[in-house]
């Protein structure tokens, strides 16, 4: 039996209606905040991600779908959107007209362990504001993400926020962290032992139970913040309050990607079964220059669309059909019915042409397709230039059918749908 690749699924029916609903809302709000859409390729040269995300991160070291193409080039299915957008800003010379605000949505790929809300192919929608550094921009970006979530009907989450400070802050903090973690080196996982030398900050997002216990008592970055970084963070917090965004400072929020500096944030459900992050993001001071672009800062976030879909109730996304079924009783009425279908389409009426099988079968299909009306053309109707209208799912039998002339069909539908 064929089945989809593990961790990947077909999106259709209720799911795709939820997906489209989320995207439409997000794009509408993104446009209000001045963002325009960008659609970058799903494949990039592997180095784009390694350079941006960092080779000691879980994403790069364990989760990327990487392969050699037929020309022998190392190619990767994008695990996230930010790196490709930085590459595009440089290669499309958008650096000439910074700041730029770009919004994106689409599929991402991570070879992660599949579970509820975690897939190997999933979808993100994200925003990147590049070439502008100020606490105002940080606050506006977080407010934008919150407004997107709210517009979709998601209110039950908290905004966690932290700062990773500037380069000096992180250098000082890394020294403090290494000093603390070295005392527990024997108990660390093999991954974390390696990271202790190569990228100690990444130990803080280890999923290993023992590592996590050790990290709970580790020093926090806020104790190492430079004066400028602290002032910057305090301003972001006060602006968020001014904007009406409730937040909670969480000093352990370092996020799993290497490119962050200063503000980081995440959105986490507070009640209900599902508690994993709905989305997250942060500021990145050095990312564009890693692609040989201008030395400018940016900030952005991405939201996991499947995680939002989990929180939306299915029954609010049932199809709302205004559909009409055009049903010839036998082959003799096919051509007349076909003409009728053409008239309906030209009058912008949703319609289905059901010409296969018996009349009972055709009505069954009309029901399954949730058609509201069936227009039946039999021998008598064909001769008299009429149509029998059947009200589908009508309980009251006196209202079940009505004979009308073909000329009246469009008007009748418009008055009864
Ligand atoms: P991230 O935290 O790795 O950040 O991913 C953002 C969101 O994508 C997560 O909070 C989650 O909702 C969703 N997500 C991640 N992995 C999976 C998965 N395997 N299955 C389902 N959903 C998933 C980034 O990707 C950054 N690029 C965000 C960013 C943009 N930072 C600055 N600009």
pLDDT, one tens digit per residue, over 333-373 is: 999 999 999 999 999 999 999 999 999 999 999 999 989 99
Residues 293 and 329 in one domain: no
> So what's the pLDDT on residue 8?
97
Nearest CA residue ID for atom 21, ligand 1:
118
**Between the CA of residue 347 and those of 168, 344, 351, 414, what are the distances in Å?**
67, 5, 11, 10
Q: Determine which residue's CA is closest to atom 9 belonging to ligand 1.
A: 279
CA of 78 from ligand 1 middle (Å) equals 12
Domain that holds residue 25: 14-166+226-315
Is 83:49 a contact under the CB 8 Å cutoff? yes
End-to-end CA distance of the chain: 43
**Total of domains in the chain:** 2
In this structure, the answer to whether residues 135 and 273 fall within a common structural domain is: yes
Q: At which residue do the structure tokens 């250098």 appear?
A: 171
Q: Whose CA is nearest to atom 17 of ligand 1?
A: 118
Pairing between strand 373-377 and 386-391? antiparallel
User: Same domain, yes or no, for 295 and 352?
Assistant: no
Percent of the chain with pLDDT over 90: 88
Asked if residues 178 and 196 have their Cβ atoms less than 8 Å apart, the reply is: yes
What is the model's pLDDT at position 398?
A: 56
- What is the rounded average pLDDT for all residues in the chain? 94
Sorting pLDDT into bands at 50, 70 and 90, what band is 186? Answer: very high
Q: Please list the alpha-helical segments (H only) found in 199-248.
A: 209-216, 227-243
Ligand 1 atom closest to residue 82's alpha carbon, by position in its atom list: 27
Q: Could you tell me if 144 and 277 lie in one domain?
A: yes
Given the CA of residue 257, which atom of ligand 1 is nearest to it? 3
Tell me the angle at which helices 409-416 and 334-346 cross, rounded to the nearest 10 degrees.
60
Residue with CA at minimum distance from ligand 1 atom 15? 304
Domain boundary pick from 260, 288, 315: 315
In this structure, the residues whose C-beta lies within 6 A of any atom of ligand 1 are 80-82, 110, 112, 117-119, 122, 124, 126, 128, 256-257, 277-282, 300-302, 304, 306-307
Indicate whether 69 belongs to any domain. yes
What confidence tens digit (pLDDT) does each residue in 307-327 have?
999 999 998 998 777 899 999
Among candidate residues 315, 344, 360, the one where a domain is terminated: 315
Residues 59 and 32 in one domain: yes
Q: Are residues 377 and 270 in the same domain?
A: no
Ligand 1: centre distance to CA 302 (Å): 6
pLDDT per residue as tens digits for the range 46-64: 999 999 999 989 999 999 9
**For ligand 1, atom 10: residue with the closest CA:** 279
Centre of ligand 1 from the C-alpha of residue 316, in Å: 26
The verdict on residue 383 lying in a domain is yes
Residue 117 — very low, low, confident or very high, per pLDDT cuts 50/70/90? very high
Q: Which atom of ligand 1 is nearest to the CA of 267?
A: 10
Global pTM value: 0.92
3-state secondary structure 340-401: HHHHHHHCCCCEEECCCCCHHHHHHHHHHCCCCEEEEECHHHHHHCEEEEEECCCCCHHHCE
DSSP 117: T
Of residues 396 and 249, the one with the higher pLDDT is: 249
Q: Of 298, 315, 332, which residue constitutes the final position of a domain?
A: 315
What is the average per-residue pLDDT within 103-111?
Answer: 98
**Which CATH number characterizes residue 120's domain?**
3.30.930.10
User: From the CA of 271, how far away is ligand 1's center (Å)?
Assistant: 20
Which of 289, 286, 280 minimizes the C-alpha distance to 261? 286
For residues 300 and 260, the answer to whether their CB atoms sit within 8 Å is: no
Section 16-25 average pLDDT = 97
Inter-residue contact 340 to 40 (CB < 8 Å) = no
Residues 103 and 152 in one domain: yes
Q: Which of 80, 130, 164, 262 to mutate to test the pocket of ligand 1 (most atoms within 8 A of CB)?
A: 80
Is 197 within a domain?
no
Express each pLDDT in 362-417 by its tens digit.
Answer: 999 999 998 999 999 999 999 999 999 999 976 655 568 899 999 999 999 999 88
198 within a domain of the structure (yes/no): no
Ligand 1 atom 1: residue of nearest CA: 280
- Give the residue, by CA position, lying nearest to ligand 1 atom 2: 280
For residue 393, what is the domain's CATH number?
A: 3.40.50.800
Give the number of the atom of ligand 1 that is nearest the alpha carbon of residue 80.
Answer: 25
Quick one: average pLDDT of 225-244?
A: 96
* 252 and 111 co-located in one domain: yes
Contact 365, 323 (CB under 8 A): no
The answer, yes or no, to whether residue 125 has pLDDT greater than 60, is yes
Same domain, residue pair 240 and 139: yes
Q: Are residues 327 and 405 in the same domain?
A: yes
Q: Quick one: 278 and 365 in the same domain?
A: no
Q: What is the mean pLDDT of residues 181-190?
A: 95
| Tokens encoding 287 | 């990312």
> Span 275-286, mean pLDDT?
96
For the residues 255-282, what does the mean pLDDT come to? 94
What angle, rounded to 10 degrees, do the helices at 14-32 and 135-151 form?
150
């Amino acid at each position: 039996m064929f089945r989809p690749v593990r961790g990947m699924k077909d999106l259709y029916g209720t799911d795709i209606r939820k997906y489209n609903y989320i995207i439409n809302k997000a794009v509408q709000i993104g446009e209000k905040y001045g963002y325009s859409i960008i659609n970058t390729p799903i494949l990039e040269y592997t180095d784009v991600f390694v350079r941006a995300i960092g080779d000691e991160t879980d994403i790069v070291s364990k989760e990327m779908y990487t392969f050699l193409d037929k020309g022998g080039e190392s190619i990767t299915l994008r695990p996230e959107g930010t790196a490709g957008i930085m590459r595009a800003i440089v290669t499309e010379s958008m650096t000439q007209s910074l700041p730029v605000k770009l919004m994106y949505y689409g599929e991402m790929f991570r070879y992660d362990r599949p579970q509820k809300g975690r897939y190997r192919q999933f979808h993100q929608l994200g925003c990147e504001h590049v070439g502008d550094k100020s606490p105002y921009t940080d606050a506006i970006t977080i407010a934008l993400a919150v407004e997107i979530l709210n517009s979709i009907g998601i209110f039950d989450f908290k905004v966690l926020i932290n700062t990773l400070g500037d380069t000096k802050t992180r250098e000082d903090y890394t020294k403090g962290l290494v000093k603390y973690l070295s005392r527990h080196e024997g108990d660390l996982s093999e991954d974390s032992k390696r990271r202790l030398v190569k990228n100690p900050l990444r130990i803080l997002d280890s999923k290993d139970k023992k590592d996590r216990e050790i990290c709970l008592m580790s020093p926090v970055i806020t104790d190492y913040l430079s004066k400028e970084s602290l002032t910057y963070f305090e301003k972001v917090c006060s602006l968020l309050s001014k904007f009406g965004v409730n937040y909670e400072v969480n000093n352990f929020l370092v996020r799993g990607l290497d490119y962050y500096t200063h503000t980081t944030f995440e959105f986490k459900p507070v009640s209900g079964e599902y508690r994993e992050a709905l989305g997250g993001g942060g500021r990145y001071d050095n990312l564009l220059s890693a692609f040989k672009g201008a030395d400018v800062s940016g900030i952005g976030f991405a939201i996991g669309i499947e995680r939002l879909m989990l929180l939306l109730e299915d029954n609010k996304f049932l199809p709302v059909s205004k559909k009409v079924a055009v049903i010839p009783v036998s082959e003799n009425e096919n051509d007349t019915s076909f003409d009728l279908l053409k008239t309906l389409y030209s009058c912008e009426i949703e319609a289905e042409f059901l010409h296969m099988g018996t009349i009972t079968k055709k009505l069954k299909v009309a029901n399954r397709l949730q058609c509201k009306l069936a227009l039946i053309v039999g021998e008598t109707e064909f001769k008299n230039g009429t149509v029998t209208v059947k009200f589908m799912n009508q309980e009251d039998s006196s209202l079940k059918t009505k004979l009308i002339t073909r000329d009246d069909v469009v008007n009748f539908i418009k008055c009864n749908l």
